[in-house]
Amino acid sequence: MKKLLIATAALAVVAGSAQAQSSVEIYGVLDKAYSNLESKVTAAGATTKTETTTTGGSGNGAVAGGQNYTTERLGFRGTEDLGGGLKANFVYEARIGQLDSTDSGDESGTMPTRLAFVGLSGGFGSIAMGRQTSLMEAAYGAGNSSNQNNFIGTLYVSGQKFNNSRSDRLVTYTSPKMGAFTLAVQYGEREVKTTTTSTSVAGQDEMTVNLSYAAGPLTAVLSHTKEETKAANAVTVKPEATVLGANYNFGPATAFVTYAEGKNKVPGATANDREAYEVGVRVPMKAWTFQASTYDGKDKVTASATDSDVSGYQLSALYNFSKRTNLYAVIGSDEVKNTAGGTKTERDTYGVGVRHQF
């Protein structure tokens, strides 16, 4: 009997130890806002105005559900200690909060997958496979004073981006920290061929390289990405972009700057050249955080020899009830002006909301 009790106790210790080596966390964001978005398009001397007001909306300026500060989500992430310094990691994250953007009362909507990947990490760094965030997002994040929120008025939400925010079938390697530097490489490929002709029916390749620097008050991320979309053994779209984002913490305030340039080539047709920069500041004051930014740039369509000037600004204030819950207010504006045709699109927005992170 004594031996049985000892054996049972030993098994309980082993089981408890094994369980302690694994962890799973449930996390998410709920964010509801009252927002107003006004759009004016002026062409040939006539102006068309559209205004959308939403209560409880969750989304961004292009989503029927309205704008809020952070996209609502529910996620699961976990780590398992495999021994010898090796760990297994996973993340699954889905979008929530906007199952019915038509206000019809229908509850049969879906929860789109934002992230779904598994990976290994250790002394070699880390490697992950699956649906992931583009490495380019880190460069935009380093230079954006407004936490890459969903409201218009920042370069991040201006339509000047060439990269996807997230993509499927990605493989990402991140090196260990080398002094103040970290290197990351991301690659994704998908190709469909017919069995009889070996013709590429559809496909997409993408590759991004990041170099990050973080030491003391300075953080900077330089990112370069290239993509190719294929059909019938031909490249149909070929976007390429470089972004440098940085911020410096002066103590009372943190200054932010972003520089972005890129090209989107369509063989035998049009091509876009884009260049823009953004500057911003973030000022914490006790429970408050104040944020401001402005951007300016150009978008050139080479085939039609037309240029567009783009610009915008955003001001926001957050009151932190706690580390997890805050109240926010945002105003923003952006403008796209076609210098050849005289067409101008102006958008103005404001919103107030409450965000809770768990």
Place of tokens 């991004």: 208
> What pLDDT shows up at residue 17?
46
Residue in 175, 188, 74 with CA at minimum distance from that of residue 131:
188
* Triad 277, 281, 287: Cα angle to 5°: 150
The pTM of the full predicted model, rounded to 2 decimals, is 0.86
Q: Tell which wins on pLDDT, 300 or 279.
A: 279
Residue 133 has pLDDT above 80, yes or no: yes
Residue 135 carries which DSSP code?
T
pLDDT of residue 115: 96
Q: What is the pLDDT of residue 15?
A: 46
Q: Is-contact 208 243, C-beta < 8 A?
A: no
Q: What is the pLDDT of residues 11-54, one digit of tens each?
A: 444 444 444 468 999 999 999 999 999 999 888 778 888 888 88
Q: Please state the φ and ψ torsions of residue 11, each to the nearest 5 degrees.
A: -65, -40
Residue range 109-121: average pLDDT? Answer: 90
Q: What is the CATH number of the domain that holds 67?
A: 2.40.160.10
Would 17 be classed as within a structural domain?
Answer: no
Number of domains in the chain: 1
Contact 146, 67 (CB under 8 A): no
Question: Does residue 93 carry a pLDDT above 90?
Answer: yes
16, part of any domain: no
Q: Is residue 18 a part of any domain in this protein? A: no
- Of residues 267 and 329, more confidently modeled: 329
Q: With respect to residue 95, please indicate whether it lies within any of the assigned structural domains.
A: yes
Any domain includes 193: yes
Mean pLDDT of 178-197: 83
- pLDDT tens readout for residues 52-64: 888 876 655 444 4
Instruction: Name the more confident of 4 and 39.
Output: 39
Three-state secondary-structure class, residue 168 = strand
Query: What domain range is 129 assigned to?
Result: 25-357
Q: Is the pLDDT of residue 268 over 70?
A: no
Q: Which of 97-106, 110-119, 125-134, 206-215 has the lowest mean pLDDT?
A: 97-106
Residue 123, classified by CB atoms within 10 Å of its CB into exposed (0-12), middle (13-18) or buried (19+), is exposed
User: Which DSSP helix (H) or strand (E) runs through 138?
Assistant: helix 136-142
Q: Is residue 152 part of a domain?
A: yes
Does any domain span residue 272? yes
Sequential DSSP letters for 38-62: EEEEEETTEEEEEEEEEEEE-S-TT
pLDDT bracket for residue 65 (50, 70, 90): very low
Residue 301 forms part of a structural domain: yes
Burial 236-267 (b: 16+ CB within 10 A, else e): bbbbbbbbbbbbeeeeeebbbbbbbbbbbbee
Pick the range with the lowest mean pLDDT from 121-125, 203-207, 326-330.
203-207
- Characterise 44 by phi-psi region: left (phi > 0), alpha (psi -120 to 50), beta (else): left
What phi and psi, each to the nearest 5 degrees, are found at residue 245? -125, 140
Q: Predicted confidence band at 203 (pLDDT cuts at 50, 70, 90)?
A: confident
